[in-house]
Chain A
Amino acid sequence: MSDDTLFQSRRAFLQALPAITAGVALPMNTASAAEGKHHWAMLVDVRKCIGCQACTVSCIMENAVPENSFRTIVSTYTVTQEVDGKTVAGTYVLPRLCNHCDNPPCVPVCPVNATFKRDDGIVVVDGYRCVGCAYCVQACPYDARFINHDTGKADKCTFCAHRVDAGLLPACVETCVGGARIFGDLNDPKGELRRRLDAAKEADAIKVLKPESGARPNVFYIGLDPRFQGRVEGQGALWRPSEHGA
């Protein structure tokens, strides 16, 4: 299996299923950090997200995320506004995860170099080295990090690096019901991610969260309402996880 065939959305994955079945016996040419030729990124098409939280759940299962902690979540909002003199209410959903920033503020603050950006763009935490000081948690402009109560160390989305290294998709992408999450290599001009990004860029439809932070995210959005691009002005969550484990 070549790198190009790393499936970039659930649909592409399903279409390629027969190829995997045929290819399991062959040695896999997996994505490797050391090669440095990949630049993993994600495109979230907000218009396709149905807010089902399948990604949230699959991430928890895949990564043994402790109770009441989340590496990814679909923020859900009720928006009430006046349109043509009528008050209408709707739901807005926004999948959030670590942006694997190109200029990640979480990295330089780490006192022990435990958090770093791999050659392939994935920002990870070396659990052996991390001292749990939570400086990176403070520095991330996206509230993407937390201290894992089971390990007492920094935790966050890894783009499922263990799966990507094995030639698989991140768990959230694989389970995405609406096909809203597209994962792939920015350096692959023929890949679905690059093609979708290029097409949307022409229409000026690509946005990132908090562009002013200077972090240069690698999670891109189509259909991102500017009112949700930074800190949301509104009423706080009606439901939030309770205190961590008893």
Chain B
Amino acid sequence: MNTSIVEVVNVAREVSWLPWAVQYFFLIGLSVGCFLLTLPWFVLRRPAWERASRLALLGALACGLTAPVALLADLHQPARFLNFYLHPNLGSWMAWGAFFIPLYLGGLALYAWLVLRPDLKRLADIGGRGAGIYRAFAYGGHDSLGATRIAAVLALAGAALVALYTGMEVMVVSARPLWDTPFLPVQFFITAVAGAIGLVLVLDRAIGDGRAAEGTHLLRLLAATQVLVLAVGAAWLLLGVTGLSPRHAEALAQVAPSAAWRITAVWAAGSALATLWLAVRHPEWRLAAGLIALHSAWMMRWTIFIGGQQIPKTSAGFYDYHLPLGQDGLLGIVGTAGLWIAVLILLISVLPWAGQRRAQA
């Protein structure tokens, strides 16, 4: 018996995690990834990593300071965040986020201050405008590896918890089979690290001397992330296609009939392959590899969040989504990007991020 069902009247539920959420997950992921890239120089003192780690520190701070603004904007009324502290439900991953974010950002700020103290002092010693302020902030200007390591452990714990909660928060939503997979937190993390490497490569071209990748295995690391991205994607697909996991099969069945979803999947795999190829074969095109990795990290989150919410839980077909031009849509994306650039410019202007080279300049 052939049956065809056409929905005539039904409600379309709107996307309720707005583009703000995509921006938050993108930026906080980049911040965590960048922070990890600061460790080889500032904590492990690998000289080849100095350029990359210093750029990564800028990235970690700029993204880390912008991300919570996007998150607050998604609450429609920013002061509501107080309720997270007044009435926390500790059974909810989102509630824990309210504690993990300050832990991470506090740790990151302390770490950044400790690692930049000697450079702040150098800047103060040169004299000129702001020397007094730099001297105050340098607070003696000691290069204390012990204290740095303690702050690094604190920030690392914060970073790990942020990576964990952002992944788990989405993974536990079993009402959405697409989100309900243990691969999701893994994929969030890998693409965040890949995006962070991409950001360092872009910053290297924009404000560095273009040599951040030298001797650091940065491109090899980028290639490794892309292999992992492809492997995780393949594992997800395999579980769905073979039906080994009914949940994955259900998720696949929801998206497979849609041409838009198929194009997105091919696009994502193609981007990963292109990044991999550029990173391995064409180090001279590392800017392109970096840009594609950044775009992939953003696209993955956009597809998961906005695309995922277009899959109805009970209705037929898909909910349409048209990016609104106002603050719930395009303005939110452009606004966060603008804020990020402003914060970055401010940091570049006031921080001795480049170390000795900048101080001597």
Using CB atoms and an 8 Å cutoff, list the residues of chain A in contact with chain B: 53, 69-70, 73-83, 91-92, 96, 105, 108-114, 129, 131-135, 137-143, 146-147, 152, 209-210, 213, 227, 230-241, 243-244
Contacts and interface: CB of A to CB of B under 8 A. Distances in A.
Given A78-B5, A79-B3, A233 B316 contact: yes
Given A112-B83, A152-B76, A227 B94 contact: no
Residue among B3, B174, B175, B320 with the highest chain A CB neighbour number at 10 A:
B175
B9 interface: yes
26 contacts: A73-B11, A75-B9, A77-B8, A79-B4, A82-B2, A91-B8, A109-B173, A111-B88, A137-B13, A138-B173, A139-B174, A146-B14, A147-B14, A147-B76, A231-B254, A231-B313, A232-B5, A233-B316, A234-B4, A234-B5, A234-B317, A235-B7, A236-B317, A238-B7, A240-B319, A240-B320
B129 to A, nearest CB: 43
A143 B13 contact: yes
Interface of B: 1-14, 16-17, 74-77, 80-81, 83-84, 86-89, 91-95, 97-98, 169, 172-176, 179, 254, 309, 312-320, 322, 324
A79 B6 CA distance: 7
B24 to A, nearest CB: 12
Contacts of B87: 112-114, 129
Contacts of B169: 135
Contact of B6 (A78, A109, A113, A152): A78
The 7 closest A-B pairs by CB, nearest first: A236-B317, A234-B5, A152-B76, A111-B95, A134-B16, A240-B12, A234-B316
B77 A132 contact: yes
The SS class assigned to the A binding surface is loop
A94 to B, nearest CB: 9
B206 to A, nearest CB: 35
Residue among A91, A133, A139, A234 with the highest chain B CB neighbour number at 10 A:
A133
A133 B74 CA distance: 7
A235 B173 contact: no
Nearest to B81: A131
B308 to A, nearest CB: 9
Nearest to B2: A82
A57 B192 CA distance: 47
Contact of B84 (A131, A152, A210): A131
Given A111-B92, A111-B98, A78 B76 contact: no
A138 B316 contact: no
Contacts of B172: 109
A65 to B, nearest CB: 11
Contacts of B81: 131
A105 B77 contact: no
Contact of B314 (A81, A132, A138, A209): A209
B312 A231 contact: yes
B9 A73 contact: yes
A231 B315 contact: yes
A116 to B, nearest CB: 10
A233 B97 CA distance: 37
A135 B175 contact: no
Nearest to A92: B5
Given A75-B10, A239-B9, A241-B12, A131 B83 contact: yes
Given A81-B2, A146-B14, A243-B324, A210 B92 contact: no
B75 A133 contact: yes
Contact of A77 (B7, B80, B91, B98): B7
A105 B11 CA distance: 21
A124 to B, nearest CB: 15
Contact of B12 (A131, A132, A237): A237
Residue among A76, A77, A238 with the highest chain B CB neighbour number at 10 A:
A77
A53 B11 CA distance: 12
A234 B7 contact: yes
Given A80-B4, A81-B4, A143-B13, 11 more contacts: A75-B10, A76-B10, A112-B86, A141-B175, A152-B75, A231-B316, A232-B314, A232-B315, A236-B312, A237-B10, A237-B12
